[in-house]
């Protein structure tokens, strides 16, 4: 299974993202980047196409969640962009995921569909307001949603790395585990609640870590990125 550090391009415009990426332009191997809702809605599909043309791997994090027919249509449209990974909410259910899988498989270069379980901005208390009711932990919700997502056709899972160990123990190792909420030791956690360090994520069986502000807001983003790669990958980047 491949492992990598994904930089979250959480910017509000194409120009901001382009300025940030400028120091990486001459890298022999371009970093894996995440385009989320904020940037995608501002910069559009052409920005994703441009990233791919320049050699970047793209994690398109749009967290699709709607009726099955609508999500299938969205996946069919987005698959044309040749993104490497695409997210949908596992809570959308089996039929939504199954239809999304069928739509993706119609393309030669289908993205890996990732089932988003419980957002890293939730803890046990806030999670109970929206998932499974009282009496269930975030870990239990993650495991239940991941099981549904994989069984229905997702190729991988998004969760906090804090659930990495139980996901590997219960569901195996033959799917990519992608984890946001990563913060190097001593950095601010912001609006994240279930966070771990890059080294901890590695030890918990995570394949991809998604890192935003510790890199994008660093004085020297390239140095910050390399330090996180060193910690998570052991310098193999």
Longest Cα–Cα distance in the chain: 51
d(CA 54, CA 89): 29
Banded pLDDT at 190 (limits 50, 70, 90): low
DSSP-based three-state secondary structure for 67 = coil
The enclosing H or E element of 58 equals strand 58-64
Give the separation between CA 140 and CA 67, rounded to whole angstroms: 25
61 in catalytic set: yes
For residues 86 and 105, give the distance between their C-alpha atoms in angstroms, rounded to a whole number.
Answer: 13
pLDDT of residue 181: 85
193 annotated to bind ligand: no
Q: Which residues contact 50 (CB under 8 A, 6 or more apart)?
A: none
Q: Do residues 81 and 124 lie in contact, with contact meaning Cβ atoms separated by under 8 Å?
A: no
| Mean pLDDT confidence for 215-229 | 94
| Residue 29 counted as an annotated binding residue | no
Per-residue pLDDT tens digits for 139-187: 888 999 999 999 999 999 999 898 999 999 999 999 999 999 898 875 5
Residue 120 assigned as binding residue:
yes
pLDDT category of residue 64 using cuts at 50, 70 and 90:
very high
Provide the residue ranges of all domains of the chain, joining segments of one domain with +: 4-233
Asked if pLDDT for residue 127 goes beyond 90, the answer is no
Confirm whether 57 is a catalytic residue: no
Q: Is residue 58 pLDDT above 70, yes or no?
A: yes
Residue that the structure tokens 């030890």 belong to: 203
d(CA 114, CA 98): 12
Whole-prediction pTM: 0.90
Top CATH class of 4-233 equals: alpha beta
Q: Could you tell me the two tokens for 51?
A: 């990233």
Tokens standing for 115? 């089932």
Residue among 2, 26, 52, 66 flagged as catalytic: 66
> Is 170 among the catalytic positions?
no
């Amino acid at each position: 299974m491949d492992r990598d550090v994904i930089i979250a391009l959480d910017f509000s415009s194409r120009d901001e993202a382009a300025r940030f990426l400028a120091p990486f332009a001459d890298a022999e191997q371009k970093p894996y980047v995440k385009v989320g809702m904020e940037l995608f809605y501002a910069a559009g599909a052409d920005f994703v196409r441009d990233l791919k043309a320049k050699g970047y791997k793209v994690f398109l994090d749009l967290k699709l969640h709607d009726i099955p027919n609508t999500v299938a249509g969205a996946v069919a449209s987005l698959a044309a962009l040749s993104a490497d990974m695409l997210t949908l909410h596992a809570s959308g259910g089996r039929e939504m995921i199954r239809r999304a899988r069928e739509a993706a498989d119609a393309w030669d270069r289908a993205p890996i569909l990732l089932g988003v379980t419980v957002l890293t901005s939730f803890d046990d208390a806030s999670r109970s307001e929206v998932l499974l009711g009282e009496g269930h932990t975030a870990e239990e919700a993650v495991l239940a949603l991941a099981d549904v997502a994989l069984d229905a056709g997702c190729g991988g899972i998004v969760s906090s790395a804090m659930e990495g160990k139980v996901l590997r123990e219960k569901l195996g190792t033959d799917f990519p585990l992608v984890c946001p909420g990563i913060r190097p030791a001593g950095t601010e956690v912001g609006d994240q609640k279930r966070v771990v360090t890059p080294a901890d994520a590695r030890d918990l069986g995570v394949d991809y870590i998604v890192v935003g502000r510790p890199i994008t807001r660093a004085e020297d983003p390239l140095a910050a990125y390399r330090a996180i790669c060193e910690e998570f990958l052991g310098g193999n980047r």
